[in-house]
């Protein structure tokens, strides 16, 4: 139990100061090691969440803060519900992002990765990781995240790397991973291929050139339209629609490619839209994805005019070789102009692929890369969502979004020309005549016995991320961790990585463990800047959650984020965070009031009065509601429901109702004390998953030995305490108090003035004293001299006011008249509705009855108000 000095300290702390308590509270949790479960039991009885691993170079942003808050709510709830709960924590090596960071650092030293070489560079990245890798971990702690920090993982850990190698080799052996010359999205900024998902379309304005290609026959020319004249150097055909009468006679003829002189056959293909441009399409299989397909279909030659260095190749011709693409375009246009071959140019807006990584325009080109065939892997991932084993929250529209993508999935280019990442477990003979794929390096080529060299490429970061839920638990070894916590239960993420990550985890999880890696996927809001733009550093629209924590406290930030989030994107609202800090302060003060005023007793409630029964009933309902809302991932509604219960019901009404009893030092206050403590204890418990710091701090001031709130039990709802009678009686009381207060305010009764009155209404037998106290009435008993001055309508009748000298009589009568009119209107409306035979016969009986009850009530109130 708290000592006198602690209580004195509490008495003096009239405001909740998050900065003074948060680190201490977090330290208590860490010391108690309650975030670290031992791996016992199996996954069906235990509960686990794998965090979307933040980039090891990252810093906490609003997305993390919301996502982390949600996961923490879920894991704390389950932990309190008695499940052995593990929040799997760690960081992602984030190949490209990290490599870019370290390259920047090298650039400031006047060096480069090429200069220091691969081995030294990778060493530098590891150094970087040692120095800065813990930043984001500490930031998650600031948020209060109850992850298992004792068991932190990193996607480049030795064990994790082994899992990645194992998966690659197994997929290769199954024939799902293969090497191919194929059209890829080449990112000239990174000097690497990237996947389709890392490409974004941007709308830009280009010039659409019309270029005349002379016919070999000498009888005129055929005109094509293009926005990329420089790629003409790699043209190998011209296509027209077979039904396009303008060109049917030319099909099979040959045109001569200007500047190059190559002979281009004019071929028919349905792909060509006769209505676009000139209706004739230059075919460049080496640099356009469509043309690549057409080229394959027609067996066309493939010419690569642009190289992986982003410059024109020798095949582009002596005149252009070595030029940057932009320069080559100018040069080609100039050369064509010289020959008078450009017959038109007009501005043209269209979508063009850009690299999401480097921001550079994608150069589609043909490259020898490693691909993963996804069709077979997708099948069970599709089935799982279709039969409901995998559930998105909300189900619409994400289930369909997920399925649409999987049902149209294409091969995944998994190799990257980077240095930081999981190097492919692939070895080539020196001339690449033989390829060996295996988890261990061969001494020599198994086929020819020659020396081997490891493939320089690394894997797409998302390849390793796809294994996160099980590779973090020791897979492919059958570890106790894996048995206890895999499959995980819930995966919390924003929609932007449903394809990049979620779907791939599902596919890899099923393929390699035979089980779905998780079953429930709540999709979170994206938090936008207050002006509706994207939050981003480059736009200057970012808001740092740590600044917000410093200013308002972690609980406030968590509450604010949870309250503002929904299934929609939302603008960041500092007001919601403020609401959270107000709530923390309110809870703090209500708790001070209770703790400093109760007699020290156990917290087993003993209802004595109707308000006791009322609050206990309301709390049970709240317990049910909050539990259901949290379990169905409706965090915003849960947050606001908690706010209403604590602020509205507990503070505004229950505490106010019991004050007279509490201040009566003569009375036996043990039952009331028990009830107050019970109410406080319940509120703290329900609020703890959302606002862990302030609730834990207050918990430590409660009498008795309780241990940590974070390790306490979650309440089972007790339906025996539900008391509709008490809820009705106190509900009416609340309405009546409010009605009288409104009247007082409107007729300008001085705030402190007690008004003589009597209650002419049923249902206030137990609450008359409360009504008198809260509405500042002096209740008259027996026969009363003098006339009723006025009356105020309350549920079940009215309060009659006697000789209140201070009231504004005109205002009072005006007020009564307005109320009469309003009641008459309602009565007319209700009567009309009930007179409608269709309504009475077709609406459900309870709806009709409710309408009748309402009518009776309005009529009673009108009668009490008189004429």
Partner RNA sequence: GGGCGGUUAGCUCAGUUGGUCAGAGCGCCUGCCUUACAAGCAGGAGGUCGCCCGUUCGAGCCGGGCACCGCCCACCA
Site residues for RNA, 770-789, by CB under 7 A, read: none
**Whole-angstrom distance, CA of residue 572 vs CA of residue 363:** 37
Q: Is the dihedral of CA 733, 738, 741, 746 positive or negative?
A: negative
Q: Under the criterion CB under 7 A, does residue 585 sit at the interface with RNA?
A: yes
Q: Under the criterion CB under 7 A, does residue 163 sit at the interface with RNA?
A: no
Q: Under the criterion CB under 7 A, does residue 46 sit at the interface with RNA?
A: no
| Shortest separation between residue 728's beta carbon and RNA, angstroms | 11
| Shortest separation between residue 322's beta carbon and RNA, angstroms | 24
Q: Under the criterion CB under 7 A, does residue 820 sit at the interface with RNA?
A: no
Paired sense of beta strands 570-571 and 527-528, if any: parallel
Q: Under the criterion CB under 7 A, does residue 274 sit at the interface with RNA?
A: yes
Q: Under the criterion CB under 7 A, does residue 854 sit at the interface with RNA?
A: yes
- Pick 487 or 522: Cβ nearer RNA: 522
**Whole-angstrom distance, CA of residue 528 vs CA of residue 568:** 11
| Shortest separation between residue 521's beta carbon and RNA, angstroms | 16
Query: 402 Cβ partners below 8 Å, 6+ apart?
Result: 385, 392, 498, 499, 502, 503
For residue 320, how many C-alpha atoms fall within 13 Å in the half-sphere facing its CB?
31
416 neighbors 458 (Cβ within 8 angstroms): yes
| Shortest separation between residue 675's beta carbon and RNA, angstroms | 15
Binding track over 72-111 against RNA, x by CB under 7 A? ----------------------------------------
Q: Under the criterion CB under 7 A, does residue 188 sit at the interface with RNA?
A: no
The kind and range of the H/E element at 134 are none
| Shortest separation between residue 642's beta carbon and RNA, angstroms | 12
The DSSP line for 13-56 is --S--HHHHHHHHHHHHHHHTTT-----S-TTTSEEEE--PPBT
Contact set for RNA, span 402-421 (CB under 7 A): 404-405, 408
Binding track over 193-212 against RNA, x by CB under 7 A? ---xx--xx-----------
The kind and range of the H/E element at 520 are strand 520-524
Residue from the set 397, 442, 451, 707 that interacts with RNA by CB under 7 A: 397
| Shortest separation between residue 798's beta carbon and RNA, angstroms | 15
Contact set for RNA, span 635-694 (CB under 7 A): 636-637, 640, 643, 647, 651-652, 655-656, 659, 663
| Shortest separation between residue 617's beta carbon and RNA, angstroms | 17
**Whole-angstrom distance, CA of residue 408 vs CA of residue 731:** 57
Q: Under the criterion CB under 7 A, does residue 821 sit at the interface with RNA?
A: no
- Pick 34 or 640: Cβ nearer RNA: 640
- Pick 274 or 317: Cβ nearer RNA: 274
Contact set for RNA, span 503-542 (CB under 7 A): 528, 532
Contact set for RNA, span 473-502 (CB under 7 A): 496, 499
**Whole-angstrom distance, CA of residue 425 vs CA of residue 443:** 14
CA 557: distance to chain centroid? 15
| Shortest separation between residue 574's beta carbon and RNA, angstroms | 9
Tokens of 48: 């686990």
| H-only helix segments in 700-767 | 724-746
Please give the DSSP secondary-structure letter assigned to residue 500.
I
Please give the DSSP secondary-structure letter assigned to residue 851.
H
Beta bridge partners of 756: 778
Question: How far from each other are the two terminal CA atoms of the chain, in whole angstroms?
Answer: 61
**Whole-angstrom distance, CA of residue 853 vs CA of residue 827:** 11
Q: Under the criterion CB under 7 A, does residue 599 sit at the interface with RNA?
A: no
Q: Under the criterion CB under 7 A, does residue 248 sit at the interface with RNA?
A: no
| Shortest separation between residue 709's beta carbon and RNA, angstroms | 19
| Shortest separation between residue 145's beta carbon and RNA, angstroms | 23
CA 683 to each of CA 202, 593, 615, 626: distance values in angstroms, whole numbers, following the listed order: 50, 14, 11, 11
Tokens of 276: 């676009």
Cis peptide before 487 (omega within 30 of 0): yes
360 neighbors 352 (Cβ within 8 angstroms): no
Please give the DSSP secondary-structure letter assigned to residue 515.
S
Contact set for RNA, span 828-847 (CB under 7 A): 829, 836, 838-839, 842-844, 847
**Whole-angstrom distance, CA of residue 535 vs CA of residue 545:** 12
Number of residues that bind RNA (CB under 7 A): 91
Residue from the set 271, 456, 706, 754 that interacts with RNA by CB under 7 A: 271
Burial class (CB in 10 A: 0-12, 13-18, 19+), 822: middle
- Pick 719 or 838: Cβ nearer RNA: 838
| Shortest separation between residue 94's beta carbon and RNA, angstroms | 19
| Shortest separation between residue 753's beta carbon and RNA, angstroms | 11
Considering only the stretches 120-128, 163-171, 382-390, 577-585, report the one whose residues sit in contact with RNA under the rule CB under 7 A. Answer: 577-585
**Whole-angstrom distance, CA of residue 66 vs CA of residue 561:** 6
Binding track over 302-331 against RNA, x by CB under 7 A? ------------------------------
| Shortest separation between residue 550's beta carbon and RNA, angstroms | 13
- Pick 228 or 504: Cβ nearer RNA: 228
Contact set for RNA, span 604-623 (CB under 7 A): none
- Pick 652 or 716: Cβ nearer RNA: 652
- Pick 426 or 862: Cβ nearer RNA: 862
- Pick 224 or 729: Cβ nearer RNA: 224
CA 277 to each of CA 258, 271, 272, 274, 791: distance values in angstroms, whole numbers, following the listed order: 19, 14, 10, 8, 83
What are the phi and psi torsion angles at 292 (to 5°)? -60, -45
Candidates 140, 291, 185, 304; CA nearest to 234 is: 304
Number of neighbouring beta carbons within 10 Å of residue 850: 13
**Whole-angstrom distance, CA of residue 425 vs CA of residue 427:** 7
| Shortest separation between residue 485's beta carbon and RNA, angstroms | 31
- Pick 118 or 386: Cβ nearer RNA: 386
| Shortest separation between residue 448's beta carbon and RNA, angstroms | 39
| Shortest separation between residue 213's beta carbon and RNA, angstroms | 13
Contact set for RNA, span 733-762 (CB under 7 A): 737-738, 741-742, 745-746, 751
Q: Under the criterion CB under 7 A, does residue 851 sit at the interface with RNA?
A: yes
- Pick 281 or 862: Cβ nearer RNA: 281
- Pick 84 or 576: Cβ nearer RNA: 576
- Pick 166 or 298: Cβ nearer RNA: 298
Q: Under the criterion CB under 7 A, does residue 566 sit at the interface with RNA?
A: yes
- Pick 73 or 161: Cβ nearer RNA: 73
Q: Under the criterion CB under 7 A, does residue 290 sit at the interface with RNA?
A: yes
Describe the crossing of helices 768-775 and 656-663 by its angle, rounded to 10 degrees.
Answer: 100
Paired sense of beta strands 391-393 and 520-524, if any: parallel
- Pick 486 or 643: Cβ nearer RNA: 643
Residue from the set 297, 575, 824, 852 that interacts with RNA by CB under 7 A: 575
Binding track over 343-382 against RNA, x by CB under 7 A? -------xx-------------------------------
The DSSP line for 535-549 is P-TTTT----HHHHH
Candidates 789, 760, 782, 759; CA nearest to 771 is: 759
Cα-trace Rg, the chain: 37
Paired sense of beta strands 263-268 and 237-240, if any: parallel
Q: Under the criterion CB under 7 A, does residue 627 sit at the interface with RNA?
A: no
Q: Under the criterion CB under 7 A, does residue 863 sit at the interface with RNA?
A: no
Considering only the stretches 259-267, 281-289, 320-328, 466-474, report the one whose residues sit in contact with RNA under the rule CB under 7 A. Answer: 281-289
């Amino acid at each position: 139990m708290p000592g006198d000095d602690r209580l004195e300290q509490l008495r003096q702390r009239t405001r909740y100061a998050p900065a003074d308590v948060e680190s201490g509270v977090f330290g208590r949790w860490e010391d108690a090691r309650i975030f670290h479960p031992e791996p016992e039991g199996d996954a069906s009885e235990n509960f686990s969440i794998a965090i979307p691993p933040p980039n090891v170079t990252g810093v906490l942003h609003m997305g993390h803060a919301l996502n982390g808050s949600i996961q923490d709510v879920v894991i704390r709830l389950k932990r309190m519900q008695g499940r052995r709960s593990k929040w799997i924590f760690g960081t992602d090596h984030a190949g490209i992002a990290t490599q870019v960071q370290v390259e920047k650092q090298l650039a400031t030293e006047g060096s480069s990765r090429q200069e220091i070489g691969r081995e030294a560079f990778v060493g530098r990245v590891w150094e970087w990781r040692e120095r800065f890798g813990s930043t984001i971990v500490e930031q998650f702690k600031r948020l209060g995240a109850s992850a298992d920090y004792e068991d932190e993982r990193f996607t480049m850990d030795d064990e994790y790397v082994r899992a990645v190698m194992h998966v690659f080799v197994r997929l290769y052996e199954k024939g799902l991973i293969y090497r191919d010359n194929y059209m890829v999205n080449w990112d000239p900024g990174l000097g690497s291929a990237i996947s389709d998902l890392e490409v974004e379309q941007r709308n830009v304005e280009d010039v659409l050139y019309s270029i005349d290609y002379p016919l070999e026959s000498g009888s005129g020319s055929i005109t094509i339209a293009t926005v990329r004249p420089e790629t003409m150097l790699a043209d190998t055909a011209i296509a027209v629609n077979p039904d396009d009468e303008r060109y049917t006679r030319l099909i099979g003829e040959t045109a001569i490619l200007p500047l190059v002189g190559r002979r281009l056959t004019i071929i028919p293909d349905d792909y060509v839209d006769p209505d676009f441009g000139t209706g004739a399409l230059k075919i460049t299989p080496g640099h356009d994805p469509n043309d690549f397909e057409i080229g394959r279909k027609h067996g066309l030659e493939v010419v690569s005019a642009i190289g992986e260095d982003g410059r024109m190749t020798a095949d582009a011709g002596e005149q252009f070789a070595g030029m940057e693409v932009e320069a080559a375009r100018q040069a080609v246009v100039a050369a064509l102009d010289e020959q008078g071959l450009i017959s038109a140019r007009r501005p043209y807006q269209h979508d063009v692929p850009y690299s999401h990584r480097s921001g550079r325009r994608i150069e589609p080109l043909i490259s020898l890369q490693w691909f993963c065939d996804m069709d077979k892997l997708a099948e069970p991932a599709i089935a799982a969502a279709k039969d409901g084993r995998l559930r998105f929250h909300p189900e619409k529209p994400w289930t369909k979004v997920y399925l649409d993508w999987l049902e149209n999935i294409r091969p995944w280019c998994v190799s990257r020309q980077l240095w930081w990442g999981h190097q492919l477990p692939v070895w080539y003979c020196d001339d690449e005549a033989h390829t060996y794929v295996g988890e261990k390096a061969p001494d020599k080529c198994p086929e020819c016995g020659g020396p081997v060299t490891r493939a320089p490429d690394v894997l797409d970061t998302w390849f390793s991320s796809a294994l996160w839920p099980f590779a973090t638990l020791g897979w492919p070894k059958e570890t106790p961790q894996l048995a206890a916590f895999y499959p995980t239960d819930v995966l919390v993420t924003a929609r932007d990585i449903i394809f990049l990550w979620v779907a791939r985890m599902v596919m890899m999880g099923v393929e390699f463990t035979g089980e779905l890696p998780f079953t429930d996927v709540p999709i979170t809001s994206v938090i936008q800047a207050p002006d509706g733009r994207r939050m981003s550093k480059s736009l200057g629209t970012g808001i740092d959650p740590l600044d917000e924590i410093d200013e308002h406290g972690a609980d406030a930030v968590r509450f604010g984020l949870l309250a503002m989030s929904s299934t929609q994107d939302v603008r960041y609202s500092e007001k919601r965070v403020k609401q959270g800090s107000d709530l923390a302060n309110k809870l703090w003060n209500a708790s001070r009031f209770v703790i400093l005023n109760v007699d020290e007793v156990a917290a087993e409630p003993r209802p004595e009065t109707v308000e006791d029964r009322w609050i206990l009933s309301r709390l049970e309902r709240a317990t049910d509601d909050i539990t259901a809302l949290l379990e169905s991932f409706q965090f915003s509604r849960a947050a606001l429901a908690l706010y209403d219960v604590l602020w509205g019901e507990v503070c505004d009404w229950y505490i106010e109702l019991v004050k007279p009893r509490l201040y009566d030092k003569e009375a036996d206050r043990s039952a009331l004390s028990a009830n107050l403590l019970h109410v406080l204890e319940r509120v703290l418990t329900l609020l703890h998953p959302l606002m862990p710091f302030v609730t834990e701090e207050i918990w430590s001031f409660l009498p008795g030995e309780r241990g940590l709130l974070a390790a306490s039990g979650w309440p089972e709802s007790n339906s025996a305490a539900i008391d509709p009678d008490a809820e009705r009686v106190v509900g009416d009381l609340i309405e009546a108090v409010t009605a009288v207060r409104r009247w007082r305010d409107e007729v300008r009764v001085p705030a402190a003035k007690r008004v003589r009155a009597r209650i002419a209404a049923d249902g206030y037998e137990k609450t008359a004293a409360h009504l008198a106290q809260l509405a500042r009435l002096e209740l008259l008993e027996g026969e009363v001299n003098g006339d009723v001055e006025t009356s105020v309508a309350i549920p079940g009748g009215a309060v009659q006011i006697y000789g209140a000298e201070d009231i504004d009589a005109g205002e009072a009568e005006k007020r009564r008249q307005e109320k009469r009119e309003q009641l008459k209107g309602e009565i007319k409306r209700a009567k009309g509705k009930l007179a409608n035979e269709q309504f009475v016969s077709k609406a459900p009986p309870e709806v009709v009855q409710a309408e009748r009850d309402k009518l009776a009530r309005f009529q009673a109130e009108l009668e009490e108000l008189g004429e």
